[in-house]
Chains A and B, each alone.
Chain A
Amino acid sequence: QQQVKQSPQSLIVQKGGISIINCAYENTAFDYFPWYQQFPGKGPALLIAIRPDVSEKKEGRFTISFNKSAKQFSLHIMDSQPGDSATYFCAATENSGYSTLTFGKGTMLLVSP
């Protein structure tokens, strides 16, 4: 059972555009939602995270939007750059992070120059 569904599987965006990646979850006990960025040959790196008590969190060009009633959250990358080309994973966990991370299947982002 896939508890975190991520879409799209791949995404091509022009430089300067907005990249949007969506995730949906089923487990209402999830209470911490991080996003990870992974470059080829590297491990995932924590990008930004949100808790369900807020609807939006912004860090630089990266914004998470959270819709608790719809059990959905999304990552927006503003002014996308070629250096943002990577695979992005959404994840979720329970008990404020004391439980394990459940990952989505990933979105491969390519930002064209």
Chain B
Amino acid sequence: DAGVTQSPTHLIKTRGQQVTLRCSPKSGHDTVSWYQQALGQGPQFIFQYYEEEERQRGNFPDRFSGHQFPNYSSELNVNALLLGDSALYLCASSLTPGKPQHFGDGTRLSIL
């Protein structure tokens, strides 16, 4: 039973570019949340998707957007990349909103 899978594992971009990160939830899970984890910090909530709708959003600018597909997989898009966007981006899935979240191993994004 595959857990949460994220792609790519590593990515290098330059300032001003755009990036798309992908997440496949654990089998049977329909809720996907995205987190940003800066080096040496705890994960910070970006947003959560359920039934293909953004259900909740953290304190992140509109440059961060997302999407959930009918098969429950999800994408995180970041536009106009800044140096400060360098971080580990984590995807977590749960059986439904409110159930324990299971994390993937993340995408390490580096901005040059």
Q: B42 to A106, Cβ gap below 8 A?
A: yes
| A34 to B42 CA separation, bound complex (whole angstroms) | 13
Task: State in angstroms the CA–CA spacing of A103 and B43 once bound together.
Answer: 6
| Closest B residue, CB atoms, query A100 | B45
Please determine whether A89 and B102 come into contact, CB atoms closer than 8 angstroms. Answer: no
Interface centre among A44, A89, A91, A98 (most CB of B within 10 A): A44
Asked if A98 and B97 sit within 8 Å, CB to CB, the answer is yes
Q: B33 to chain A: which residues have CB within 8 Å?
A: 100-101
Interface residues of B in 66-112 (CB under 8 A from A): 90, 92, 97-106
Across-interface contacts of A41 in B (CB, < 8 A):
105
Q: Count the B residues whose beta carbon is within 8 Å of the partner chain — how many? A: 24
Interface of B is mostly: loop
Considering the chains assembled together, what is the distance between the CA atoms of A100 and B33 in angstroms?
Answer: 9
Residues of the A chain whose Cβ atoms lie less than 8 Å from the Cβ of B44: 103
Q: A89-B42, A103-B44 are in contact. Are A97 and B100 (CB under 8 A)?
A: yes
The size class of the interface chain A forms with chain B is: 20 to 34
Name the residue on A nearest B99 (C-beta): A97
* B32 on interface, CB distance cutoff 8 Å: no
Contact check, A101 vs B105: say whether CB atoms are below 8 A apart.
no
* Bound CA–CA A45/B105 (angstroms): 10
Enumerate chain A interface residues (CB-CB to B < 8 A).
Answer: 6, 34, 36, 41-46, 49, 89, 91, 95-106
* B residues apposed to A, CB below 8 Å: 4, 33, 35, 40-45, 48, 56, 58, 90, 92, 97-106
9 nearest CB pairs, A to B: A103-B42, A43-B103, A98-B98, A100-B45, A97-B98, A43-B105, A44-B103, A105-B42, A89-B42
